[in-house]
Structure 1
């Protein structure tokens, strides 16, 4: 066999006798990219600097850095209820200087005929207030405000107002997200041990008046630099914020463009009736974002987004092609009348929105996580990017192929296919590169990310375009997810 063997860092003209060994790790690399999740939210104070992402060291750390009642602390808390070990980062935003905080409140009237407890709710957080027989609205309101003061992580502040006597509730963070904070009373009903003592009536003023989400979102995302995040969850469902994240992740100028390859996928939730959310869904068309309608669930859109991202992250680490479905969320379900029916969920899935279901115990389960992508550049219906698993699987497969190729072919000489390359020489051609790509694709099929290795091998094209450039056509055939089993029950009666 002619030709020379290239030995890293060894001088070919050495004359000193001995045995010399160089280490070459190009065949040993089995590492995979680190998996990170980014939570975006607003801060209320603390020691952190706005618009600067930092790794999360847990709930206490988040409360100290961003404020106990902040969206950031709330995001960390809800995410860690499911994913306790994954790498989580937080990108804190300051309230916009032009923003207003949402407000609402409770009015308690009458006189308690018996002692008991009023189970007030802020979102899905219970604020239990004791009641003695003979207590009226003024006493109960004062006790309610005092109780809320002992719960600094509610996401709101309570104050007593007059004419009529009531508790005024103000969102801790200014902006549109405060309007999504649900106020309730005795949400679990008598079956759940909750009721309003006889003689009393509670009237709720829904949260409203919050305006202007942070306009620093684009700058904060740009400041992330080249750090990759697989999933990005947040509380925003306004057009301006969603457009910023869409541009940040886009295929043409964002993190999915070929010259960037930072990837990432956005997750959020939206509150509203079927008509409201479907009208919203058809306005979005982004394959890099998933949005879950939550109807009238007491839990906030941020809580839903955090839990969805946590389940998606755990599933992605297991296998990106595995369906992110039939996974439970630690959120309160919509009311019985607010739960979307089969036909309504079918409609949502054709309007760029994801779906969930609720079982008889009230547990919420992910049913299907879709993206908002609905039409192609020509405006024709397109289901290419219907499911989130498609994007997650492509991301992992591309990252794996990039790592493999970058390790195996780093600092290679590129020659034409007719050139003779002997063993050990740091050179390759399009045929060898093609064979390596096919080999790696077979590995990806063994991981069940992809399928039809023989079909891939027959269709892949690798071309030496000259000037040190290899052009490749990689016909990835990614795995599907089992979603529907349709059976014809053909029975007999012997």
Structure 2
């Protein structure tokens, strides 16, 4: 009986026995997953550190509290991408932290009635204004309107014409949350004058190691992380490196966002160097950074799942509101792309689009400039190639014996040789080429080495050199005109 059966032993009872084996089926698949870290309110029903699948914003408001950071992040993610399965790991506020606060100060009373549109983190609240309202009345009405909008990430209190707006959560991530009026140039009652001071003073973000530990050994392909403080990013980058390594092989790309001046953003980018962390420089976008990270992560996850090698440029960042003015010009954005910061462009109608989704990786282990992991497509494509190789080998040779090339074993035996593995890898590379993930087939074949390990005769080693397909990003022409 030279054929290697999996489940049929030697038998004496009559009958026809047929087993099924999927080694030649050749179909590999994976379910891509995204995970969001963020803060919950005590009104939420899901406790800290429990990975929870979320499929609509209403669930998020129930699980993590209406108006919570996670409620807002999930709403933005699911609006931009309702396809990729997304799990959420809630964090409690840091008990030692402080909440950011800002002010809305009414400096002159209205002379006509109308409606005031106050924007909190890019979300509009309408306030009815009477022509005889005093300064204190306007402030009281603004505070009441904000508090009535329970979906907002803030609460408000008015005193002596000043509205104090306080974040629902503690932590520095809410610093810079914008307060202003008439983002879309809505008319304001005559005579009314108001000044705004964005939220500041927040301190003490939660520790993301709680969320990292909660991920366990589940493979999440994309992580949305709202925090950009040094300690949390260090913990996250360490975990990303570990997951990408050959002993875990559950690589993930993490998305964050940073708001600040051009100089501050460049300095921030220069302080990081990870092929798996992509930080979008928002240039003071009206949408809060934790929501920008969720939007960017959602758009990237949807499209990278379809094709890891295809660039993300021009894709719409659904739900992201850019700065009202003072948007970075091309030269400024270009400089940030040398500082590890991903960039976006703004259409005339205010639509935000990905310009170039780079990682923060900038230098190699020797501290020298290195562009090998510049674009997010590189680690994403390598991740998919590795997965397909692993899955194909595991499916084709799940319980095989190992022999040298040239062994005269019987047909149908569950035996694999280096030559068979080499043929499998070559066939798989042809598939990568057809998918548009790789090129240079002949060179790949010539460079491919597959051999049996000298010390461990139960092991096959290989070295291959996949030539990853690049992305069409820059087109340059020189026109020499003739008169």
**TM-score normalised by structure 2 residue count:** 0.97
Corresponding residue for 1:471? 461
Structure 1 residue 331 corresponds to structure 2 residue 320 = yes
- Please name the residue that 1:204 is paired with: 196
- Cα contact 2:108–2:194 (8 A) shared by 1: no
Q: How does 1:148-163 map to 2 (within 5 A)?
A: 148-162=146-160
2-structure distance, mates of 1:38, 1:233:
6
Q: Do the aligned residues in 2 keep the contact of 1:289 with 1:371 (CA within 8 Å)?
A: yes
Q: Match of 2:246?
A: 258
State the SS of the aligned residue for 1:438.
Answer: helix
Q: Normalising to structure 1: TM-score of the pair?
A: 0.94
Equivalent residue for 1:237, pick from 219, 222, 228: 228
SS in 1 for 2:438: coil
Alignment partners' CA distance in 2, 1:161 and 1:27: 75
Q: 3-state SS of the aligned residue for 2:3?
A: coil
- 1:29 is displaced (CA, Å) by 4.4
Partners of 1:186 and 1:195 within 8 A in 2:
yes
Aligned counterpart, 1:286:
274
Are residues 1:441 and 2:439 paired? no
Pairwise mapping of residues 80-99 of structure 1 onto structure 2 (< 5 A)? 80-99=78-97
1:155 and 1:175 map into 2 onto residues whose CA distance is 13
* 1:482 Cα offset (Å): 0.8
* Partners of 1:60 and 1:367 in 2: CA distance: 32
Unmatched segments (≥5 aa) in structure 2: none
State the Cα deviation string for residues 260-297 of structure 1 (Å, max 9, x = none): 11111110100011011001111111111000111121
Please give the secondary structure, in 1, of the residue aligned with 2:243.
Answer: coil
Query: How far is 1:489 from its partner?
Result: 2.5
Q: Which residue of 1 aligns with 2:51?
A: 53
What's the CA shift for 1:257? Answer: 1.3
> Which stretch of the first structure deviates more once superposed, 342-351 or 29-38?
29-38
Q: Distance in 1 between matches of 2:224 and 2:409?
A: 49
- Asked if residue 249 in structure 1 is aligned to residue 240 in structure 2, the reply is yes
Residue pair 1:176, 1:213 contacting (<8 A) in 2 also: yes
Say whether the 8 Å CA contact 2:240–2:276 is kept in structure 1.
yes
List aligned pairs for 1:399-414, cutoff 5 A: 399-414=387-402
Q: Give the whole-Å Cα distance in 2 for the aligned partners of 1:137 and 1:404.
A: 71
Report the secondary structure of 1:138's partner residue: helix
* Aligned counterparts of 1:112 and 1:398: Cα–Cα separation in 2: 65
Pairing partner for 1:120 from 118, 121, 124: 118
**CA distance in 2: counterparts of 1:186 and 1:422, whole angstroms:** 80
CA RMSD of aligned residues (A): 1.3
| Structure-to-structure mapping, 1:63-462, within 5 angstroms | 63-162=61-160, 165-189=161-185, 194-215=186-207, 217-250=208-241, 254-329=242-317, 330-337=319-326, 339-462=327-450
Q: Distance in 1 between matches of 2:480 and 2:347?
A: 29
**Residue 30 of structure 1: aligned partner:** 27
SS of 1:173 mapped into structure 2: strand
Tell me if structure 1 keeps the 8 A contact 2:279–2:341.
yes
Instruction: Identify which range, 204-213 or 375-384, moves more after superposition.
Output: 204-213
Count of residue pairs brought into register by the alignment: 479
Structure 2 CA distance, aligned partners of 1:142 and 1:7? 80
Q: Tell me how far 1:354 sits from its aligned partner.
A: 0.7
| Shift, 1:429, TM fit | 1.2
* Segments ≥4 residues shifted beyond 4 Å: none
Aligned mates of 1:340, 1:291 — CA distance in 2: 16
State the distance in 2 between where 1:305 and 1:412 align.
46
Distance in 2 of aligned mates of 1:167 and 1:421:
84
SS in 2 for 1:291: strand
Partner SS for 1:261? coil
Q: Deviations over 1:124-171 (max 9, x none)?
A: 101111112122221112211221222111101111233xx2111110
- Aligned-residue offset at 1:477: 1.3
